[in-house]
């Protein structure tokens, strides 16, 4: 039976689209039970176009992070996912949420190097000659969970944050689908 995955996303949805398209084409043997965003974002329109259930748990509608997190947990639970997949979700999840669901995340760097929201900028500022993308298990820290898979991307002289990030995103879209295939076959075990 296909594993049920739920996608968390905050933006345009290019990573989410890679996963959705892999499911539609049957390249990935999973069922997408929902796409959830923390803000009104194009990813919700994408989910609708692709026939995926979607929900908005708008962070700005709540008085504090804890209340928002509790609501997010209730909404996610209502879909009974086997795995939560963070694909460009730009919120830190509470430790309670992380303990409740198995969650993986994509990150635009070779963790443990350059954790946090500015990984590409940080890699360039450090003078790194290579960086990449990582898929990792989410824990209570910021990008500190166990690494599942990585792909390296060379830093080219003259790279800007935007040019490097675009090359990383190409690899990230491939890596998340390949990682999900492996996890689906292995039973989604940490």
Can 107 be counted among the known catalytic residues? yes
Angle of CA points 139, 184, 92, to nearest 5°: 25
Distances (CA, A) of 82 to 4, 19, 34, 166: 5, 15, 12, 30
Instruction: Write down the catalytic residue from 96, 107, 118, 136.
Output: 107
Element (H, E) at 131: strand 130-137
d(CA 129, CA 149): 20
Q: Residue 129 — φ and ψ, nearest 5°?
A: -95, -10
Supply the residues annotated as catalytic: 107
């Amino acid at each position: 039976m296909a594993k049920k995955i739920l996608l968390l996303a905050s933006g345009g949805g290019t990573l989410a689209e890679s996963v959705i398209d892999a499911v539609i084409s049957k390249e990935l043997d999973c069922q997408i039970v929902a796409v959830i965003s923390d803000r009104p974002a194009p990813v919700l329109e994408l989910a609708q176009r692709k026939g995926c259930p979607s929900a908005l748990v708008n962070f700005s509608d709540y008085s504090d992070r804890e209340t928002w997190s509790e609501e997010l947990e209730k909404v996610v639970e209502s879909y009974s996912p086997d795995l939560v997949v963070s694909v460009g979700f730009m919120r830190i999840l509470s430790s309670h949420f992380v303990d409740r669901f198995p969650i993986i995340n994509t990150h635009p760097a070779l963790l443990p190097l350059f954790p946090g929201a500015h990984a590409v900028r940080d890699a360039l500022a450090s003078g790194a000659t290579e960086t990449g993308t990582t898929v990792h298990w989410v824990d209570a820290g910021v990008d500190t969970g166990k690494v599942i898979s990585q792909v390296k991307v060379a830093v080219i002289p003259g790279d800007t944050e935007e040019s490097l990030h675009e090359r990383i995103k190409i690899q990230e879209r491939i890596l998340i689908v390949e990682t999900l295939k492996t996890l689906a076959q292995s039973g989604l075990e940490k």
